[in-house]
Amino acid sequence: MPELPEVEVTRQGITPYLVDQTVVDLVVRNASLRWPVPELAKQIIGQTIRQVRRRAKYLLIDTDAGTSIVHLGMSGSLRILPHDTPVEKHDHIDLVLANGRILRFNDPRRFGAWLWCQLPDEAHPLLEKLGPEPLTDAFNVNQLAAALAGKKKAIKLCLMDNHIVVGVGNIYANEALFAAGIHPEAEAGKIDIERLTVLVAEVKQILAHAIKQGGTTLKDFTNAEGKPGYFAQKLHVYGRGGETCTLCGNLLSETRLGQRTTVFCSICQPR
Ligand SMILES: [Zn+2]
């Protein structure tokens, strides 16, 4: 599943081909995504794309008339292709540009979304309650400590809660807690400020590194062969239950927390 780094790398990859381009057509072959794709053609054809932003895992393609809100879901991908590229299975939407290229949305499992928003997008129901972006200064130890105050929930569940901070999916929650030496089931409200400071720094560092790495491994958004795969990263705990800890050699423990696989080292991450 694309996580925040993959979505950010997608944004960086497609932006140069979209900005300042006029939309000449919108082809929707299958509107049955996670939510029905609205009738957009009237609003979007003739508009010029101003910028491509990201909020959490949503890509926001701005025009003067409104914003396309795109989510890759479980299996979605976006590519920039020549307009006459043959259509393949699961190619649900093409945004056709004046420069002869298309932005093509492919999504085998159809948990992705393509919506439209004329409001200021911060007011859109999908976006308005989101917490701060992890890579901005709005996510900091004071904000996190305030958000966790009095919370008895496990820290890992809080870290994956979009109201507290966005874009920290299961992989990165596992990795950041390992890097910070915090047990994933530790009671969120009882973690001291020193350890939260380390946790904030690790979340930022791990996501920034993943984006940087993705920029080198997933740079080709203009290739019709092979859809962009989501990049494999060097992980210390995620997917390594029962293997040895990279720091101490202890066997990593695996449990379920909020229905998500949780891997940790009981020595390096004491309760
Ligand atoms: Zn260890």
57 pLDDT above the threshold of 90: yes
Q: 212 labelled as ligand-binding?
A: no
Choose, from 110, 195, 204, 260, the residue flagged as catalytic. 260
In a domain, 247, yes or no: yes
Bigger pLDDT: 212 vs 195:
195
Task: Identify the domain containing residue 168 by its residue range.
Answer: 141-264
Would residue 108 show up in a list of annotated catalytic residues for this protein?
no
Known catalytic membership, residue 42: no
Residues 117 and 182 in one domain: no
Whether 200 and 244 map to the same domain: the answer is: yes
Asked about 260 being catalytic, the answer comes back as yes
| CATH number of the CATH domain containing 234 | 1.10.8.50
> Domain for residue 62, yes or no?
yes
**For 104-120, b where at least 16 C-beta lie within 10 A, e where not — what string?**
bbbbeebebbbbbbeee
Residues 25 and 90 both lie in one domain: yes
How many A from CA of 268 to the centre of ligand 1?
4
**Average pLDDT, rounded, for the chain:** 92
CATH code of the domain covering residue 83: 3.20.190.10
Of 93, 123, 153, the last residue of a domain is 123
Same domain, 168 and 224: yes
- Do 95 and 185 lie in a common domain? no
Tell me if 270 is assigned to some domain. Answer: no
Q: What does the pLDDT average to over 100-127?
A: 92
**Which pLDDT belongs to residue 217?**
63
Domain's final residue, options 64, 92, 123: 123
Could you tell me if 153 and 237 lie in one domain? yes
High-pLDDT (> 90) share of the chain, %: 83
- The more confidently predicted of residues 198 and 222 is 198
Tally of domains in the chain: 2
- pLDDT, tens digit (0-9, with 9 covering 90-100), for 150-175: 999 999 999 999 999 999 999 999 99
The answer to whether residue 269 sits within a structural domain is: no
Check the annotation: does 29 bind a ligand: no
- Does any domain span residue 260? yes
Q: Is 101 annotated as a binding residue?
A: no
